[in-house]
Structure 1
Amino acid sequence: MQVSANTVTFSVALPDGALPPEYLDESGKVSVLANAVAGTMDIVSRAEVTALERLRAGASVAEDSTTLAGLRDRGYVFDDPVVEDANYRGVVDGYFEAIKEAPFQFMFIPSFVCNLACPYCFEGELTRKSPRMTEEMIDAAFDSIPMIQELHENSGPPYITLFGGEPLLDTAPQRESIEQILSRAYDRGYPVTAITNGVALDAYVPMLLEYGCEEVQVSLDGTPEVHDTRRVFRNGKPTFKLIEHSIDVAAAAGLRVLIRVLVDLDSVGQMPEFAEFALAKGWIDNPKIRLFYGFTKQTSFLYVTPDHPPEKREKMVRGDVKPSLQEAFYRMLRDNPLVDRMLEPDPARIRAAVLEGDRVRPNLQGCSAGTSVVAFDPNGKVYGCPETVGRPQHACGDYFPGFRYSGGYREPWRHRHVDTVEMCRECNVKLFCGGGGCPIKAWAASGGDFNTCYCPKVSTIKTRVESELAYLLPMALQRRQSRTASGSPEKGMGTWDQMTTVGSFPWMT
C-alpha cells in the first residue's frame, strides 16, 4: 500500500467550534485531503492524517489498516501501481484527446485603437494608433482557420471573438470591418462573441443580433466612484453611465452579457455597494447577465525578449496578484454574502466540489491559449495568446499576405503541460495549478524555453487553495447543519456517521 503521488494535504483554519476536536491538529487547523485524479476532497481526522503520514514515511501501518482502507477507497492510497498509473494517464491523456474536439476560439482584432485610456491596459501604447484590417485581410484570416485547426489537430467547432483595442468603435470604417467579419462568420455558421468596453455597445446591438452574435463581455470596475477614475475616455470623461445603458440595451434585446469586474486594493472595499447596485438593477437575477471578477495584475512580462539579461527578465516577469489583495477580497466576501452570490468566486476551481458535491477537476493547463486560442491582428500576424498581441516576439506566424506558421515557437507551447515541464513532474500540487504557470512568463523568464517552469512556489499554490477552503468550508458546514436541523435529505449523501468514516464530506459520489 502506498500514498498516491497526487494526494495533497491542505491545512485550513476554520472558525472555533466548526468541527469536533478530533479534526483539529496541534495548531487548531483542520486537514483536507484532495486528489485530482480520483476527483476526491475530504476533511479528515487527526488519526487519519497520522495514518497517512506513517504510510508515506514507510513505517509499519498494521494497526492503521482499517483507517487506510477507507482512504484507499477514496483514492488517497493505492495497492497497485499499474492501476494508479493508468488512472493518472487516463486523466492527463484523456484531457488532451478531448480538447482536439473542443471549440477553437479565433479572435479578430480589426484595429488596436481604443477610445479609453485605462491605466492597467496590457496593450498600452498600441491603442493610440493602429492600422485596420482590410477586407482582404479578413478573408485571409477566415481562409487560414481550417489550416490552423489542422496544424492543431483540432476538429472542434470554430467560433469568432471580436477583440481589440476596442472592436465596437462607433466609426464608419470600424463598423464596416466589423460587419465584414460578422457576415463571413454567419455565412460559415461560426458563432460570434465580442469583448468590448461597452461604451458604444448599444449602437452595435442591431448588427450583432442580425448576424447571430451570442454574447458580449463588458467591464465595469465597481461603483461609478471607482470605475470613473480609471475606465475613462482619453479626455478624462466618465464612462459608467454609458456602459450601464449598453448592458441594459443588450440584455433586453436578447444578447447574453458577461460583466467583468476588475478587483484591486482600491476597489475591493466598494464591492458590497456595487453588489447592491447590481441587485437593484436586476442584473444578479437576470438569466441573460452573469457577473464575474478578475484581479488586476502587472503586465511588464509581455515586453520581455529572450535576449534581455537574466536579471532583467526576472524582474520584468516577477509579480502577479499580491497576497494582500486576496486576503482583503476574502475578508470582504465573508462579511457580504451578496457579493458572493453576485461573483461566485472560485480562483482555485474547487467551489463546485466543496458546495455542490461535484468531483475535483484537475487543472492540466493554466490557460486555454496553449491549445485552442488564436488571435489575428491588424498587421497580418497570428498570436497564440490575446494578451501578447502586438508584441512581435510573441507572434506565432502570419495570415496575410501569405500564411506562415512558426512551429518552432508555437509547437513547444502547444504541447506544454504537467508532464513536459520537468519541475512539475514530481510536484504533487501540479494538478491544482495547471503545471508550470503561465507559459509566456516561463518563456520570457527562461530566455525562450516553454518547457520550463515559472509558477508561484508550491507553498503559494497551496495557500491559494487553503484560502478558498477557509472561505467555502464554513458555508458548506452551515448548509449541512441547516439541512440536518430541517430534516431535509442530503442528495447522494449518507448520515453524518457514514460521512465521517473516511472524512467529513465525501464530495465525489
Structure 2
Amino acid sequence: MHLSRHTFRFSVDDKKQVLLYNPLNGAMDLIEKSQLNKLNTAVRHGNESALADGSLDYMLDRGYVYPSPEDEQAALVRGYEEFKAREQKSNLRFVILPTYQCSSRCSYCFIGEAIGQERLMADEVMDLAFSAMDSIAEERGKGCTRQLSLFGGEPLINTPNQRRTVERILQKGVERNFLIDIVSNGFDLVHYADLLKQYGVFKTQVTFDGMRDYHNQRRVSVDGQGPSFDRIVAGVDAALERDLTLNVRVLLDRNSIETLPELVSFFKEKQWFASPHFSIHIGSVFDCFRCQPTEETVKHLGVHEGNRKLYQLCSEDRSIAELLAIDWQGVRRFVYTGKLFPPTYKTCFGGTRTFAFDPNGGIYACETTAGRPEYQIGRFSPELELNRDLIQALEDRTILTIPGCKQCPQALLCAGGCAFNAVVTNGSLMSPGCRLMKETLQYGFDLYWPDIAAQLKGPDEVTELPEEVADVACCAPSPELVQSFYAAAAESPAPALCCPTKYAPELVSHIRKDALDRSYGCGSPVLEAALRPGEVVVDLGCGSGIDAFLAARFVGRDGRVIGVDMTEDMLQQGRQYQPAVAETLGYDVVELRSGAIERVPLEDEVADVVVSNCVLNLSTDKGSVLREALRILKPGGRLCLSDVVSDRPLTDHLRNDP
C-alpha cells in the first residue's frame, strides 16, 4: 500500500481531529488524529491487517491511499487527460493593446520602457490583428467562447483618435461574437460608458490603490485632468448607472492594506455593493521582470505577509470577508457550492489559450510580456508568423514535465506558476514558479471553519420526509404526488429539501430571506452556466423562482428569464417575491409561467441557456424533458442541469417503488 503524496493535513478547532484534503481526487474529510496515525503506521510498515475496522477500504476509496505508487501515477495521468479536455473547451482569449500610451505613471508598472509610446494601432495593423485572431481561432477555438480583452498602456484615453480606434476594435469584436472585456485605469471611463454599453462590453476592470490620498500618490495622473481617485469614482458611477458589469481591483502594498477597511466603507457608502453588476478582487504589487517599485512610493507586500494581513482583517470583521469575497484557493467556493476545484496541471495559458497583439505588430503570450520584443511568440504584421517551437514548449509545460514539480506535493495546487516569471526568476521556462498554496488554504479553512465543519459532518437534525416521497430522488413519483408535496413546501419551508448548495450572500442580496428558505435545489446551475448580459434564460421546474431571480442578476435589464413550473402554489410564492427583486435590481426581466417541463409552453429556439435545478429526477418522462430543452434552445445554446444521481445500480425494490 502507498500513502498518496498529494494528501494535505490541516489543523482544525477540534485538536483531536485533522482535516484531510487531496486535490487529485477532490476528497476532503475530517478524521480522528489517532485513527490517521494508526493508518499511516500500518501502511508504512506493511501491516494492513491491523486495520480491520474498514478504515483502509474507505481511505482507498477516497484516494488517500493507493495500492502502489504506480497506481497513483496512473491516476495523475488520467486526471491530466480530463484537464486537457477542459482546457480545450476553455475560453480562447485574445488581448489587443491599441496603444502603449498611458494617462498615468505608476512606479510599479510592468509595461516598463514601452509605456508612453504615443503610437495608436493603425487601421491596417488592426485588420491584420483580427485576421490573425481568425486564423488562431480556426486552429484552437472550435466549440469554445472567444474572448477579446482591451489592454494597454491605457485603452480608454479620451481623445478623438483613440476613441475612434477603440470603437473600431469593438465593432470587429462584435462582428465575431467575441465576449469583450476591458482593463482600464478608469481615469476616463466616464467618457466611454455609453460606448461600452452600446457594444455590450461584458466587463470592465478599474483599479484603486487605497483611499483617496494614498491612491493619488500611487496612481499619478499625467494628462492634466486632475487627481485620479475621484475620476475613477465618477467612472464607476457612470458604468453602474448603465448596468455595465464593473470589477474593481484593489491593489495592496504594506501601506495601502492598512486603508482597506476605510476603502470598503467608502464603497458601501457609495452603495456599489448593492449593485448586481459590481464585484471586487484583491491584487498586490509583485516582482516580475519590469516591476521596479521604489522605496518612496511602494512598500512591496509579499504573498506570505499579504495573506496573513488579509486573514487578520477578515477574521476581525466577517463583513469585510464577505464583501471582498476572497476565495482562499477555492475554500469559499466549497462553502457556497459544496464543490472543490478539480486538479490543476498548469497555471499559465499564455501562448496556448491567450494571445496578445500590440500596435507594433507583435504577438505575445499574454499582456504581462507585451512590449518587450525578446518575449514575442510571433508577429501578425506584415503577415502571421508564429514561433511554433516556443508555443509547443508552453503547451507542454505542466506539472508532469517541470522537473521541480514532478515530486512536489503542492503541484496540483500551485500548477507550476507563471511561465515567464519562471524564466525571469530562474532563467528557465521549465522551472517552477512556486506559490504558497497550503498556507492560503489554511487561512481559508480557519476563516470558514464552522461552515466547512457543518458541510462535512452534515446537519445535526434532519427533518424526515413523508414516507410516500422518501424515495423521491431515486424513483419517478406521479405528477400529482409531486404537486401535492411541493404545494405544501411552498406554504411552509421544508428543511429536509434544503439545501446542499449555499449561494454567496452578495449574489442573492436582492432576494428576500423567506424566499431563500424555499430554495429546494441541489446545486447551482445558474452559476455553472456563466450567464452573460442580454441572454434569454429558461428555468425548467423553477419552483418559487430563486434560480430565475439569481439569473436576472446576471443577464441584466437587457436579458430575459422565463421560469416554468407545474405547481401553481410555488409560482404564486415566486410572484409575491418578484416585485421586491425587481425593485432591488432596478429592473424586472423575470416571467413565471405555469406548465409542464415535458411540454414547455415556449416557441422553438428562444433560449440562449436552459437550466434546471434538481427537477429532472421528478419527471416520469425524462427523455421528453431533454428533448424539450433542446427544442427551445437556440443553435449553439447551453444546457446546464443540476440533479441527484445514483452511483450504483438501484435495487428492484427502489426501482419499482410506486
TM-score (norm 1): 0.83
How far the C-alpha of 1:477 sits from its partner, in A, is 4.4
Structure 2 contact 16–33 (Cα < 8 Å) conserved:
yes
Determine the C-alpha separation between the residues in 1 that align with 2:405 and 2:336.
29
Determine the C-alpha separation between the residues in 2 that align with 1:205 and 1:389.
26
1:144 aligned onto 2:124: no
For 1:95, which of 70, 75, 83 is the aligned residue? 83
Evaluate the alpha carbon distance shift between residue 322 and residue 428 of structure 1 in structure 2; reply closer, same or farther with a 3 A threshold: closer
**What corresponds to 1:205 in structure 2?**
193
Structure 1 contact 33–44 (Cα < 8 Å) conserved:
yes
How far the C-alpha of 1:481 sits from its partner, in A, is 10
**What corresponds to 1:42 in structure 2?**
29
For 1:189, which of 174, 177, 194 is the aligned residue? 177
- The AA in structure 2 aligned to 1:45 is E
SS in 2 for 1:261: strand
**What corresponds to 2:40 in structure 1?**
53
Structure 2 contact 147–179 (Cα < 8 Å) conserved:
yes
SS in 2 for 1:375: strand
Evaluate the alpha carbon distance shift between residue 258 and residue 492 of structure 1 in structure 2; reply closer, same or farther with a 3 A threshold: closer
Determine the C-alpha separation between the residues in 1 that align with 2:242 and 2:385.
41
**What corresponds to 1:465 in structure 2?**
441
Structure 1 contact 117–232 (Cα < 8 Å) conserved:
yes
Determine the C-alpha separation between the residues in 2 that align with 1:172 and 1:392.
29
Determine the C-alpha separation between the residues in 2 that align with 1:472 and 1:368.
31
Q: Alignment RMSD, CA only? A: 2.9
Structure 2 contact 8–22 (Cα < 8 Å) conserved:
no
Q: Which moved more, 1:422-431 or 1:58-67?
A: 58-67
Residues 35-434 of structure 1: matches in 2 within 5 Å?
35-66=22-53, 67-79=55-67, 84=72, 87-152=75-140, 155-234=143-222, 237-300=226-289, 321-354=302-335, 356-369=337-350, 371-434=352-415
SS in 2 for 1:38: coil
Determine the C-alpha separation between the residues in 1 that align with 2:342 and 2:331.
8
SS in 2 for 1:292: strand
- The AA in structure 1 aligned to 2:447 is Y
How far the C-alpha of 1:124 sits from its partner, in A, is 2.9
Determine the C-alpha separation between the residues in 2 that align with 1:356 and 1:153.
29
Determine the C-alpha separation between the residues in 1 that align with 2:433 and 2:457.
42
Structure 2 contact 91–147 (Cα < 8 Å) conserved:
yes
Determine the C-alpha separation between the residues in 1 that align with 2:247 and 2:167.
22
Evaluate the alpha carbon distance shift between residue 210 and residue 355 of structure 1 in structure 2; reply closer, same or farther with a 3 A threshold: closer
Q: Which moved more, 1:421-430 or 1:150-159?
A: 150-159
Evaluate the alpha carbon distance shift between residue 199 and residue 43 of structure 1 in structure 2; reply closer, same or farther with a 3 A threshold: same
Once the two structures are superposed, residues 445-503 of structure 1 have per-residue CA deviations (whole angstroms, 9 ceiling, x without a partner) of: 454x42232425xxx4433332332333255448999975998667459xxxxxxxxxx
Determine the C-alpha separation between the residues in 2 that align with 1:277 and 1:479.
34
**What corresponds to 2:4 in structure 1?**
4
Determine the C-alpha separation between the residues in 2 that align with 1:474 and 1:122.
41
Determine the C-alpha separation between the residues in 2 that align with 1:417 and 1:121.
28
Evaluate the alpha carbon distance shift between residue 477 and residue 284 of structure 1 in structure 2; reply closer, same or farther with a 3 A threshold: farther
Determine the C-alpha separation between the residues in 2 that align with 1:252 and 1:91.
45
Evaluate the alpha carbon distance shift between residue 65 and residue 126 of structure 1 in structure 2; reply closer, same or farther with a 3 A threshold: farther
SS in 2 for 1:33: strand
- The AA in structure 2 aligned to 1:204 is Y
How far the C-alpha of 1:350 sits from its partner, in A, is 2.9
Structure 2 contact 8–20 (Cα < 8 Å) conserved:
yes
Over the matched positions of the two proteins, sequence identity in percent amounts to: 26
- The AA in structure 1 aligned to 2:230 is K
Structure 1 contact 222–274 (Cα < 8 Å) conserved:
yes
Once the two structures are superposed, residues 344-377 of structure 1 have per-residue CA deviations (whole angstroms, 9 ceiling, x without a partner) of: 1124233222554213432222233253111101
For 1:455, which of 410, 434, 453 is the aligned residue? 434
Evaluate the alpha carbon distance shift between residue 156 and residue 167 of structure 1 in structure 2; reply closer, same or farther with a 3 A threshold: same
SS in 1 for 2:442: helix
Structure 1 contact 418–425 (Cα < 8 Å) conserved:
yes
Determine the C-alpha separation between the residues in 1 that align with 2:10 and 2:24.
20
Structure 1 contact 292–342 (Cα < 8 Å) conserved:
no
Structure 1 contact 377–390 (Cα < 8 Å) conserved:
yes
Evaluate the alpha carbon distance shift between residue 141 and residue 370 of structure 1 in structure 2; reply closer, same or farther with a 3 A threshold: closer
How far the C-alpha of 1:2 sits from its partner, in A, is 2.8
How far the C-alpha of 1:302 sits from its partner, in A, is 7.4
Structure 2 contact 109–290 (Cα < 8 Å) conserved:
no
Q: What residue ranges of structure 1 are gaps of 5+ in the alignment?
A: 24-30, 304-318, 494-508
Determine the C-alpha separation between the residues in 2 that align with 1:219 and 1:136.
32
Once the two structures are superposed, residues 34-68 of structure 1 have per-residue CA deviations (whole angstroms, 9 ceiling, x without a partner) of: 11121112232212320342245234132234222
Q: Which moved more, 1:474-483 or 1:144-153?
A: 474-483
Determine the C-alpha separation between the residues in 2 that align with 1:37 and 1:264.
34
Determine the C-alpha separation between the residues in 2 that align with 1:334 and 1:139.
51
- The AA in structure 2 aligned to 1:342 is L
Q: Which moved more, 1:96-105 or 1:294-303?
A: 294-303
Evaluate the alpha carbon distance shift between residue 482 and residue 45 of structure 1 in structure 2; reply closer, same or farther with a 3 A threshold: closer
Determine the C-alpha separation between the residues in 1 that align with 2:79 and 2:119.
44
Q: Which moved more, 1:169-178 or 1:182-191?
A: 182-191
For 1:22, which of 9, 16, 19 is the aligned residue? 16
Structure 1 contact 271–339 (Cα < 8 Å) conserved:
no
Once the two structures are superposed, residues 78-113 of structure 1 have per-residue CA deviations (whole angstroms, 9 ceiling, x without a partner) of: 347787555433321111122223221111101011
TM-score (norm 2): 0.65
**What corresponds to 2:530 in structure 1?**
none
Q: What residue ranges of structure 2 are gaps of 5+ in the alignment?
A: 293-299, 464-494, 502-646, 648-658
Determine the C-alpha separation between the residues in 2 that align with 1:244 and 1:210.
21
SS in 2 for 1:49: helix
Determine the C-alpha separation between the residues in 1 that align with 2:66 and 2:29.
17
How far the C-alpha of 1:147 sits from its partner, in A, is 2.2
- The AA in structure 2 aligned to 1:142 is F
**What corresponds to 1:443 in structure 2?**
423
SS in 1 for 2:250: strand
Structure 2 contact 206–248 (Cα < 8 Å) conserved:
yes
How far the C-alpha of 1:188 sits from its partner, in A, is 2.1
Number of equivalent positions? 461
How far the C-alpha of 1:389 sits from its partner, in A, is 0.5
Determine the C-alpha separation between the residues in 2 that align with 1:98 and 1:39.
16
Q: Which has the higher contact order (CA 8 A, sep 6+)?
A: 1
Structure 1 contact 169–175 (Cα < 8 Å) conserved:
yes
Determine the C-alpha separation between the residues in 1 that align with 2:260 and 2:461.
33
Evaluate the alpha carbon distance shift between residue 81 and residue 446 of structure 1 in structure 2; reply closer, same or farther with a 3 A threshold: closer
Determine the C-alpha separation between the residues in 1 that align with 2:180 and 2:199.
8
SS in 1 for 2:93: strand
Determine the C-alpha separation between the residues in 2 that align with 1:231 and 1:90.
47
Determine the C-alpha separation between the residues in 1 that align with 2:455 and 2:29.
16
Q: Which moved more, 1:216-225 or 1:230-239?
A: 230-239
Evaluate the alpha carbon distance shift between residue 90 and residue 247 of structure 1 in structure 2; reply closer, same or farther with a 3 A threshold: same
Structure 1 contact 261–292 (Cα < 8 Å) conserved:
yes
- The AA in structure 2 aligned to 1:33 is L
Structure 1 contact 194–217 (Cα < 8 Å) conserved:
yes
- The AA in structure 1 aligned to 2:250 is V
